[in-house]
């Protein structure tokens, strides 16, 4: 079963081909980082224009790399929610046109549900039920994945997404975007216990995340006498900028881990899946493996499938296709969908 998946939900134009719900044949991603770099964030209008310019080429590349001509496709899957409205519309319009022209089924996919199942490509034995942590630049949420059509959100961030927090702290530290990889790289030279940044604790028994308090703490630490940016290596304090990066990263990772392990315990599952751009973080991988209780398997996708990609949309599309799901050709985008 060959499914083409398209994702243009944010700032990467991507397409991929899957052979069923757990096998990736290709993944083509055209990143827009260079276009948005000067703005320190994604500019929606620039993003949608760039998607429109690149989508044909990216789809062609995905089909060629999978050695799959258009005639061999069984369906076209596309992200319809959530995301930037103008960006989503480009992928959805392209997918509709292709599905109509080739007489193929169209399958609208929820972007975050696709992140939640993307680890399946690298773990043949991963089956429902499992808990999924999806942490990216736009989302940080936990899902109980009880079946292909029974994916329930358990909790999410009250404010910033984890990746967004890494990106903003990178700006504060004068590091390049995307902030996750650059903060993480500098952190390898610092001490994670040098600065006691606050950890978030949800009220009562709520499963929730928060990152804005941590971001503000880093800001005030850098502004304040204890760690001025213009005196980053004060011997009297012995706190360096790499120390700040490492301490921030440890706090951010612990903020992700606590509610995640709570969700795993409550759901009583043996598998924990992590997805989204932040899943590429090495400290998160290391600490989660160390702190997960015995008997819980922690599954990460390969780094290329952590960030936004069309291949995960194709896998999720294949799964829904097998269950008989189809979207009408007038399916609309839903930019703010959360569940």
Q: Summarize as ranges the residues that interact with ligand KG4 (CB under 6 A).
A: 10, 136-138, 163-164, 166-167, 178-181, 184, 276-278, 280-281, 307-308
**Judged by CB under 5 A, does residue 308 bind Zn ion?**
yes
Cβ 114 to ligand KG4 shortest distance, Å: 11
Question: Which residue is it, tokens 């009250």?
Answer: 158
Q: Minimal CA–CA distance to 136: which of 25, 284, 317, 288?
A: 284
Cβ 316 to Zn ion shortest distance, Å: 12
**CB-based contacts of 231: which residues, under 8 Å, 6+ apart?**
none
**Judged by CB under 5 A, does residue 48 bind Zn ion?**
no
**Judged by CB under 5 A, does residue 271 bind Zn ion?**
no
Cβ 36 to ligand KG4 shortest distance, Å: 12
Nearer to Zn ion, 26 or 136 (CB): 136
Nearer to ligand KG4, 98 or 114 (CB): 114
Cβ 10 to ligand KG4 shortest distance, Å: 5
Cβ 191 to ligand KG4 shortest distance, Å: 18
Nearer to ligand KG4, 243 or 308 (CB): 308
Cα 150 off chain centre by: 20
Nearer to Zn ion, 271 or 308 (CB): 308
Select from Zn ion, ligand KG4, none the partner in contact with residue 21, using the beta carbon and a kind-dependent cut-off of 5 to 8 Å: none
Residues of the chain by 3-state class (helix, strand, coil), percent to 5 = 45, 20, 35
Select from Zn ion, ligand KG4, none the partner in contact with residue 180, using the beta carbon and a kind-dependent cut-off of 5 to 8 Å: ligand KG4
C-alpha angle 109-309-114 in degrees, rounded to nearest 5:
35
Helix, coil or strand: residue 60: helix
Angle between helices 179-187 and 282-291 (to 10 degrees): 70
Cα dist from 32 to 56, 60, 299, whole Å: 15, 18, 28
Q: Are 57 and 64 in contact (CB under 8 A)?
A: no
Select from ligand KG4, Zn ion, none the partner in contact with residue 137, using the beta carbon and a kind-dependent cut-off of 5 to 8 Å: ligand KG4
Name the burial class of residue 329, with classes exposed (0-12), middle (13-18) and buried (19+) by CB atoms within 10 angstroms of its CB: exposed
**Judged by CB under 5 A, does residue 136 bind Zn ion?**
yes
Cβ 257 to ligand KG4 shortest distance, Å: 14
**Judged by CB under 5 A, does residue 27 bind Zn ion?**
no
Nearer to ligand KG4, 1 or 212 (CB): 212
Nearer to ligand KG4, 22 or 115 (CB): 115
Nearer to Zn ion, 153 or 326 (CB): 153
In angstroms, rounded to a whole number, what is the distance separating the alpha carbons of residues 60 and 65? Answer: 9
Local structure of residue 177 (DSSP, 8 states): S
Cβ 100 to ligand KG4 shortest distance, Å: 28
Size of the site for Zn ion (CB under 5 A): 2
- Specify the long-range contacts of residues 21-25, CB closer than 8 Å, at least 24 apart: 21/117, 21/120, 21/315, 21/316, 21/318, 21/319, 21/322, 22/120, 22/121, 22/124, 22/126, 22/315, 23/121, 23/315, 24/121, 24/305, 24/311, 24/314, 24/315, 25/65, 25/66, 25/67, 25/68
Angle between helices 212-223 and 241-267 (to 10 degrees): 160
Nearer to Zn ion, 78 or 246 (CB): 78
Select from Zn ion, ligand KG4, none the partner in contact with residue 178, using the beta carbon and a kind-dependent cut-off of 5 to 8 Å: ligand KG4
Select from Zn ion, ligand KG4, none the partner in contact with residue 163, using the beta carbon and a kind-dependent cut-off of 5 to 8 Å: ligand KG4
Cβ 227 to Zn ion shortest distance, Å: 32
> Interface residues with Zn ion (CB under 5 A)?
136, 308
């Amino acid at each position: 079963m060959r499914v083409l998946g398209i994702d243009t939900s944010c700032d990467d134009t991507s397409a991929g081909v899957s052979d069923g719900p757990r096998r990736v044949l290709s993944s083509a991603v055209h990143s827009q980082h260079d276009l948005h770099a000067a703005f320190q964030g994604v500019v929606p209008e620039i993003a949608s224009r760039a998607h429109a310019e690149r989508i044909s080429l990216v789809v062609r590349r995905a089909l060629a790399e999978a050695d799959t001509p258009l005639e061999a496709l069984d369906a076209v899957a596309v992200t319809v929610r959530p995301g930037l409205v103008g960006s989503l519309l480009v992928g959805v319009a392209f997918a509709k046109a292709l599905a109509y022209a080739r007489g193929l089924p169209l399958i609208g996919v929820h972007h975050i549900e696709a992140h939640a199942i993307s680890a399946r490509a690298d773990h043949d034995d991963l089956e429902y039920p499992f808990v999924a942590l999806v942490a990216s630049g736009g989302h940080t949420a936990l899902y109980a994945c009880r079946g292909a059509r029974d994916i329930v959100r358990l909790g999410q961030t009250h404010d910033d997404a984890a990746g967004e927090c890494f990106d903003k702290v990178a700006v504060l530290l004068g590091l390049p975007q995307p902030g996750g990889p650059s903060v993480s790289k500098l952190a390898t030279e610092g001490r994670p216990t040098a600065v006691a940044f606050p950890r978030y604790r949800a009220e009562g028994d709520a499963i929730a995340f928060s990152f804005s308090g941590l971001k503000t703490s880093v800001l005030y630490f850098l502004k304040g006498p204890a760690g001025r940016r213009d005196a980053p290596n004060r011997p009297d304090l012995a706190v360096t900028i790499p120390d700040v990066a490492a301490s921030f990263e440890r706090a951010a990772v612990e903020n992700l881990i606590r509610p995640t392990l709570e969700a795993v315990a409550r759901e009583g599952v043996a598998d924990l899946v992590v997805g989204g751009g932040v899943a590429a973080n090495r400290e998160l991988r290391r600490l989660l493996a160390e702190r997960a209780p015995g008997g819980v398997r922690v599954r990460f996708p390969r780094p290329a499938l952590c960030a936004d990609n069309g291949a995960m949309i194709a896998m999720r599309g294949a799964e829904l296709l097998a269950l008989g799901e189809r979207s009408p050709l007038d399916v609309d985008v839903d930019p703010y969908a959360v569940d």
